[in-house]
Amino acid sequence: MRRFLPVAAGGLALVAAAVAPVPIRPESAARSPRSAAAVAEAAIPPLGVVWGRVRGWERAADGWRIVWQPAHGAWLLWAWVPDGASDAVGWWLDAAPWLPGARLSRAAALTVAGGVRGEPAPLERLARRDWLVGEERVIGALRAGRHVPAPPGESGILWGAALAGLVFAGAISRVLLPVVVSSGWRRLVGWTAAVTIVALPLMTPLAARRFEAGVRPWVSEVIFGTIVAMALAAVSLAAVHYPAGRGRAAGPVLAAALAAGLLAGRLQPVPWCAEVAGLEARAVAWLAVVLLGGWLAALAGEGLRQLLAPAGRASRILLAIVGAAMVVSAGPWLGAALAILGATAGGRGQGTPVACLTLWGWLVGATWATCAWTGALRDSLLMLLVGVAIVIAAALADHRHGV
C-alpha cells in the first residue's frame, strides 16, 4: 500500500495538470503556418512578381508572419495572416536597393495606388523607379504594401544571463567534484546533437528574420544552419567534458516532473512553440529541446546546488526561497526554472532525467496552449503518451528493485 500511494499521487498530478482550467496566453494559432500561407496566396492581389517559395514564418500579433523569396533573392514578400478572418491579410514587398531599375510591376503599382483593373494603365516613367497611376505616383519597389505587424521583441535577457551563470557554475562543480559518469546519457546527448544537425535543412523556416532582400535565400539558410550547428556541436562536446552522473529517478518523481512541466507549459506558453510545431521535423526539434535542454538544466541545477552548499542546513531554506522567486519571476522561462529546481532538489544522478521529463511536459503543455490545428495537437498527444510510458516503466523498475 505504501508503494502504491506515491504512484497514485503521481498519476493524479498528471491528470490534474492535463485538465486544469488555465488561461491561455497568447491565443492559440487557429491554423498551421503552411495553411496560413495558402490563405495569404489566395487573398493577396496579383503583384506581377515571382514570389518564390515559403522561406519562413513567425508568430506576431495573434497571427502568422510569413515570408516568400525567389531563388535570386532580389526581393522579399511578407504577409501577415491573422488567426481570425482572412480578409485582413496584410502584405509587404521589399526589394533590394541595388537592383537596377528596381520598381514594382505594373500590376503591383496599380494595386498599391488603390486603382482597379480596367482603369488607364499605369504610366511607366523611363529611366526612373516610379509609375504614374492617374494622379498618384508609386515610387520604387521598396517597402510597398500594407503594414505587417512586427514580432514581439526579445525578453528575458536577465533570465538568460542567470541561466548561463548557473550552467558555468555547474561545469566548474563537475570538474572539482567529478561524478560517476553515465555513458548512456553522454552518448544520447551526442547522438541527439548529430541528428539535429542533419535535420537542420528542414528547420530553416525558423530563420524568418534572417532572410533579407538582396541576399540569396540559400545564403541566409547556410548562415542559420552554421550558427545552430556550431551551438549543437559545442553542447555535444560539453556533454563529453561535463557528463551527466550515473543514477536513476523514481517513477513518482518523474511523474511529478512531467506534471509540473505540463502545467507550466499551459500557464506560460511561448510563441516559438507554435513556430516549431509547424515544422515537418518538429519531432527532432522537440527531442533536441528535451534532451539537450534537460542536460543543460541539470548542469545549471548542479551549479545552483553547489552555490547554496556553503549554507549547510540552511541551504534547503535558501533553495525554497530562490525557487519561489524563480517561479514568480520566470515568465516564459518557467519550464526551464522548474527543470533546474527539480534537478537541484534531487541527487546528482537524478538531475538529468528529472529535468528532461520536466521539459518534456513543458513542451506538450506549451504546444496545447499555442496551437489549435490537428497535426500539432496529435503529435504532442503522442509525445505525452510516450512520457507517461517512460514514467510507468520507471515505476515498474522501482517495483522490481523493491524501491
User: What's the pLDDT at 203?
Assistant: 95
Pairing of strands 123-124, 90-95: unpaired
List the one residue out of 315, 281, 297 whose CA is nearest residue 362: 297
Cα 249–Cα 251–Cα 255 angle in degrees, nearest 5:
105
Crossing angle of helices 251-267/334-345, nearest 10°? 160
Q: Cell digits for 185?
A: 546519457
Q: Give the pLDDT confidence of 33-92 residue by residue, as tens digits.
A: 999 999 999 888 777 778 899 999 998 878 899 999 999 888 889 998 988 766 678 888
10 Å CB burial of residue 120 (0-12, 13-18, 19+) is exposed
Cβ atoms of residues 365 and 264 within 8 Å: yes
Interatomic CA distance for residues 57 and 67, integer angstroms:
6
Tell me the three state secondary structure of residue 96: coil
Q: When comparing pLDDT for 351 and 401, which is higher?
A: 351
pLDDT over threshold 80, residue 170: yes
List the one residue out of 211, 81, 76 whose CA is nearest residue 141: 76
User: What's the pLDDT at 222?
Assistant: 95
Interatomic CA distance for residues 380 and 382, integer angstroms:
5
| Dihedrals phi, psi of 164, to nearest 5 degrees | -65, -40
Using CA atoms, how far residue 165 sits from 172, 177, 299, 303, in Å, is: 11, 18, 11, 8
Q: When comparing pLDDT for 392 and 332, which is higher?
A: 392
10 Å CB burial of residue 128 (0-12, 13-18, 19+) is exposed
How many CB atoms neighbour CB 312 within 10 A? 8
Q: Cell digits for 388?
A: 507517461
Q: Cell digits for 318?
A: 535558501
Q: According to DSSP H, which parts of 20-93 are helical? A: 33-43
Tell me the three state secondary structure of residue 136: strand
Sheet with 136-139, strands from edge to edge, namely 123-124, 130-133, 136-139
Q: Cell digits for 279?
A: 515544422
Interatomic CA distance for residues 386 and 391, integer angstroms:
9
Share of the chain above pLDDT 70, in %: 78
pTM listed for this prediction: 0.84
Counting other chains too, the contacts that 199-204 makes at CB distance below 8 Å and 24 or more residues apart are: 199/281, 199/284, 199/285, 200/224, 200/225, 200/228, 200/229, 201/225, 202/279, 202/280, 202/281, 202/284, 203/228, 203/279, 203/281, 203/284, 203/285, 204/55, 204/56
Cβ atoms of residues 367 and 297 within 8 Å: no
Q: Give the pLDDT confidence of 185-234 residue by residue, as tens digits.
A: 889 999 999 999 999 999 999 999 889 888 999 999 999 999 999 999 99
Q: When comparing pLDDT for 156 and 60, which is higher?
A: 60
Interatomic CA distance for residues 36 and 42, integer angstroms:
10
Q: Give the pLDDT confidence of 356-387 residue by residue, as tens digits.
A: 999 999 999 999 988 989 999 999 999 999 99
Residue 250, CA atoms < 13 Å, CB-side half-sphere: 16
Identify the band that residue 127 occupies on the pLDDT scale cut at 50, 70 and 90.
very low
Identify the band that residue 323 occupies on the pLDDT scale cut at 50, 70 and 90.
confident
How many CB atoms neighbour CB 325 within 10 A? 11
Q: When comparing pLDDT for 355 and 117, which is higher?
A: 355
Interatomic CA distance for residues 19 and 306, integer angstroms:
37
Amino acid letter, 286: W
